[in-house]
Amino acid sequence: MALALRSAHQLVDELLDLGLPSVASYLEQMIHHKIMITDGEGLIHYPNPAHEGVYFDFVSSCNSSHNYHYDSTRKYLFYRVDYSRDTAWVIVPEIKQKSVLRTLSILGEARLAIKCYFANLTSFIADQTFLRNKLISYLFSDNDEGMEDIAKLLDSNWNINSTCYVAVFKADENEKDVQWDEVYSFSLSYFRQLRFEAIPMVGPNCFIVLWPDRFIYEVNDCMDLPQLHLYHEAIKSRLPFKYSVGIGGTYPTLQLRRSFQEARIAVTVPALRGQREYIQHFQALGFLTQMFSTNTDVLRAYCSQTLGKIIEHDNSNHGELVYTLRQLLNTGFNCRATADKLFIHINTLYYRMNKIEELLGSDLSQMSTRVNLYAAIQVWDTLNSIT
């Protein structure tokens, strides 16, 4: 049964309902050739999804100001679609010149639909940039006002009553040439192609994704749905640097900052212990989960009360008592291992330990003292890393 020729408006409706692949598939059936659809840079949007980052190299050599260009050497037809001061291309490979005019007639009916696709994509990216800037400003401020207004800009699947959580991605220590902007562009296309409601953002020295609560990381790092795992693997396979992920708890949209702060803590704590390339849920931080559920001012007061005197000593004398204590705790108070790690004589270590005990009025041989100091050091280091 022959496929009926569809009008421009029918193809626009099909694009809006079923997406670009449906329109492209129709064109292939009508012209009896495979096609490619690219943007002006040659990034393929069909048949490969744009988020795969596949380019068609010959687009850059096609500078025709006409609606089409036929390359008789390669037998390629380039059909030009202008939109928003940019250009898209429908490319038909292995087509004979005698079939070009008929093909152009069919492609002409799809011109409006393809223009609509790329124009909407441009508008979508602009809207996402505006929204991202608003959200970044909110997340990194101390002011809770404004989230209700931001929520109105979100997709209809997001509202002030819906719940969500935040994932924070950070490059591991010593990684260079970290290009989060590339991850952002990839993520926009990836989420849009798969119709995910997740919102990616580039923050200061980190990458942030807001996830609706139906995409939940379990505490044991298993996923409720496979989409998160696929996204994680898709990013990992494209990045030249190593990174780790922190996951915040699930809260109503108006408490988004709480999940964000938890995600920042979750991605920071293992790094301070020397771990690399991990996914850490805030709820799986053990006793630190409970501690960081406390008001930040209370935590700072606790750290000051517990460690204040050796911090003041180090600041006044360019000392290393806090650093020494941290290494002692990390080695389980193995003095020889600590001295080796600090590159100091064992007697120097003993001197520093005595000084710590003197300033704090504590006995480092007592387990209760070690536990208290370990908790304080963990909290102190984490707070300093995220502020």
- Give the model confidence (pLDDT) of 255-297 as tens digits: 889 999 999 999 999 998 889 988 899 999 999 999 999 889 9
Pair 291, 375: CB distance under 8 Å:
yes
Positive or negative torsion for Cα 136, 141, 142, 144: negative
Nearest CA to 42 out of 23, 20, 63 is that of 63
Over 90: is that where the pLDDT of 302 sits? yes
Positive or negative torsion for Cα 234, 240, 243, 249: negative
- Would you give the DSSP letter of residue 15? H
Task: Please give the domain boundaries of the chain with CATH numbers for all domains.
Answer: 8-120 (3.30.450.40), 140-291 (3.30.70), 296-386 (1.10.10.2840)
Pairing state of beta strands 199-203 and 279-281?
unpaired
**pLDDT for the residue 194:** 74
Q: Which residue has the tokens 């949007």?
A: 45
* pLDDT per residue as tens digits for the range 133-165: 888 888 988 766 667 777 766 765 566 678 888
**pLDDT for the residue 355:** 96
**pLDDT for the residue 48:** 83
DSSP per-residue codes, 96-121? -GGGHHHHHHHHHHHHHHHHHHHHHH
Pair 279, 232: CB distance under 8 Å:
yes
Over 70: is that where the pLDDT of 29 sits? yes
CB-neighbour burial class of residue 317 (10 A; exposed 0-12, middle 13-18, buried 19+):
exposed
* pLDDT per residue as tens digits for the range 107-117: 999 999 999 88
Over 70: is that where the pLDDT of 337 sits? yes
Over residues 156-182, the mean pLDDT reads: 79
Over residues 31-59, the mean pLDDT reads: 84
Nearest CA to 124 out of 199, 183, 182, 13 is that of 199
Pair 205, 299: CB distance under 8 Å:
no
Q: Work out the number of other CB atoms within 10 angstroms of the CB of residue 153.
A: 13
Interatomic CA distance for residues 165 and 249, integer angstroms: 6
Strand runs labelled E in the chain: 36-38, 44-46, 68-71, 76-83, 86-92, 163-171, 199-203, 206-212, 243-247, 251-252, 279-281
| 3-class secondary-structure state, position 315 | helix
Name which of 81-90, 216-225, 320-329, 375-384 the model is least confident about. 216-225
Number of residues assigned to the chain:
387
Over 50: is that where the pLDDT of 221 sits? no
**pLDDT for the residue 259:** 94
**pLDDT for the residue 226:** 59
| 3-class secondary-structure state, position 195 | coil
**pLDDT for the residue 153:** 66
Q: In the structure, what pLDDT confidence band is assigned to residue 377 with cuts at 50, 70 and 90?
A: very high
pLDDT mean across residues, the chain: 85
Over 60: is that where the pLDDT of 219 sits? no
Measure the CA angle with vertex 199, ends 262 and 247; round to 5°: 25
Q: Could you tell me the pTM of the whole model? A: 0.70
**pLDDT for the residue 61:** 60
Tokens of 380: 């102190």
